[in-house]
Amino acid sequence: MSTVRLLFSTTHWPLSAAIRMATWSRWSHVALVDGDSVIEAVALHGVRRAPLADALSRSADFAIADLPARNPQTVIDAAASQLGKPYDYSALAGLALRRDWQADDAWFCSELVAWAFDAAGQPLVRPEFRRRVYPQHLWMLPPAAPIILPLHA
């Protein structure tokens, strides 16, 4: 079975700590790895493609996990179709208040990943929860391969 590689990470920024506390998670961010780059939704930038090396360098901690995918390129292409869309700041309020306040035309990181799998015909979570998925939910999915942790983890 083919896989899609996901990068789970955290930073030293206060927003990262707040997300981890609110979601009971080790991770505050998740991105799709596409070769030497990542497709991610980040505050101040929205959905963007960034060098994998940059994503790793801004991380205080990270892990890489491979999820099974029938057609990995379809998942990556779906995520890439959202490049340039804004970050979903309303999702942060929904996260804090445990409400489904996500916008239809903006993304936060784990929502983008879940949507890309769903758009590729391989949903990771039930449709009614796709807009409420946190990095921790994706981290708990069964991996297709051993999880790659950095030496400093």
Query: Within a domain: residue 149?
Result: no
Number of domain units in the chain: 1
Q: Is 153 contained in some domain? A: no
Is the residue at 151 inside a domain?
no
> The CATH number of the domain where 128 resides is what?
3.90.1720.10
Residue 42, domain member (yes or no): yes
Condensed to tens digits (0 to 9), the pLDDT of residues 105-137 reads 889 899 999 999 999 999 988 877 766 788 998
Query: What rounded mean pLDDT belongs to the chain?
Result: 87
Residue 75's nearest CA partner among 117, 13, 125 is: 117
The distance from CA 12 to its chain's CA centroid, rounded to whole angstroms, is 18
Q: Which of 122, 132, 45, 131 is nearest to 76 (CA)?
A: 122
144 found inside a domain = no
Local confidence band at 100 (pLDDT 50, 70, 90 cut-offs): low
Could you tell me which residue, 102 or 78, shows the higher pLDDT? 78
Residue-level pLDDT at 102 = 59
Predicted TM-score of the model (pTM): 0.88
Q: Is residue 100 part of a domain?
A: yes
Show the domain range for 107.
2-139
Six-digit token string for 114: 């879940």
